[in-house]
Amino acid sequence: MEQINAKRPMQAFINPPTPSAGDPVLRICTNDRDEMGGPVCGKRGGAEIKVELEKGIEERGIDITISTINCMGYCSRGPALMLDPGTSFIFQAGPEDVPEILDIAEKLAADTKALDP
């Protein structure tokens, strides 16, 4: 029997930050518009993941800004996140992935700071 609606594993495509590319930012798609006609990140838990990420960022003292974005074109792979500098992506995130996402954000913030003159 085929299993449906199983949690797909998170996918992370991480690029190193580039020099002088600005402060680290973690953007998460929380789009929940029904008129999109398909799966959207907000209806797959994007907003709840953002809340957990905000808590973790504060608890760990990670020097990164978190913000929301309304669709980046990867709706079928959501909830989707984007990290800058470096333009990295995380797809199919779930609440259980928050610690790993925080690890990625923490490394990006440290690597970005190391590039500052």
Which residue ranges make up the site for ligand FES (CB under 6 A)? 29, 31, 40-41, 71-75, 78, 80
Nearer to ligand FES, 15 or 70 (CB): 70
Would strands 88-91 and 65-69 be described as parallel, antiparallel, or unpaired?
A: unpaired
CB of 32 to ligand FES, least distance (A): 8
Residue 3 tokens, joined: 């299993």
CB of 16 to ligand FES, least distance (A): 23
Nearer to ligand FES, 92 or 112 (CB): 92
Would strands 65-69 and 25-29 be described as parallel, antiparallel, or unpaired?
A: parallel
CB of 35 to ligand FES, least distance (A): 11
